[in-house]
Amino acid sequence: MRGLLRWLLVLAVPVVLTMTVVRLLTMGWYPAFEYARPGFPDDPFGLPAEARLELAQATIRFLNLPGRSDILDDLRLPDGSAAYNARELDHMDDVKVVYDGLTLFAAALLVGAAAAAVALVRRGARCVVWTALAQGGVLTLGILLSLAVWMVVGFDAFFTAFHGLFFQSGTWVFAYSDTLIRLFPLPFWQDAGLIVAGTVSLPAVGLVVGGWWGHRRCQLREKGDTV
C-alpha cells in the first residue's frame, strides 16, 4: 500500500505542474506577449494587429468557458465574414474536450496525491512523502528534458506526434489561409512549449531539493526518536 501511495504522489507531480502552467498560458496575456515580441510573424493576409489580438484572445477565452459556448461562431473578421469555418470550429470543440479532460485529470490527481500524502503520514511514513516529492521532481525534469530536446531537434515531428495523440488524423490540419493558422502560427506554439518546459522546471527543481532536504531531516528525526 505504501508503494502505491508513493507512486501516486510521484506521478501526480509532472501532470499537476504541467497543467498548472498550461492553464496560465491559456489566458489573454500570452497572445499579447507573443504578438509584441520582436520577430513574431505578422499575418500574411494583412489582418490588422489589433483585430488579430482580439480574435486570438477571444479564441483562448473559449477554452476557459464552462460547457459549450457559441463565442467562436460569433467571431467576425474585419470584412464581416465568419472568422472560423466549420472544420476549425469542430477542431476547437475537440481541443476544448481535451483541455477540459486534462484539467479534470490533473485536479483528480492533485486530490488523490494530497489524500495519499495524508495517508502515508498517518501510517508513520512521513519520510516516504518527501522521497516521493523529490522523485516526482526528478521524473518531471527527465520528461521535460526529453521533450525539450525533441522540440529543438525537430519541432514539426513533435507537433505532429502531440496532435496525433489527442486528435483524429487530418482533423487538425488547416490551410495557411485559415484563421487558426493566421492567429496561432508555428512560432506561437514553439514559444509556448519552451515556456512550459522552462517554467515547470523551476518548481520541479524546488521539489527535488526540498524533497531531498525534507527526507534527510525526517530520517534524522526518526533516528533521534529511536535512540
pLDDT in tens, the chain (227 residues): 788 999 999 999 999 999 999 999 999 999 999 999 999 999 999 999 999 999 999 999 999 988 777 899 999 999 999 999 999 999 999 999 999 999 999 999 999 999 999 999 998 888 999 999 999 999 999 999 888 888 788 878 888 888 888 888 888 889 999 999 999 999 999 899 889 989 999 999 999 999 999 988 888 887 765 43
pTM of the complete model: 0.88
Q: Where are the domains of the chain?
A: 2-226
Residue of 55, 65, 75 whose CA lies nearest to 181: 55
Look at the block and give the residue holding cell 460547457.
67
Indicate left, alpha or beta for 75 from its phi (over 0: left) and psi (-120 to 50: alpha): beta
Using CA atoms, how far residue 16 sits from 102, 204, 211, in Å, is: 10, 11, 17
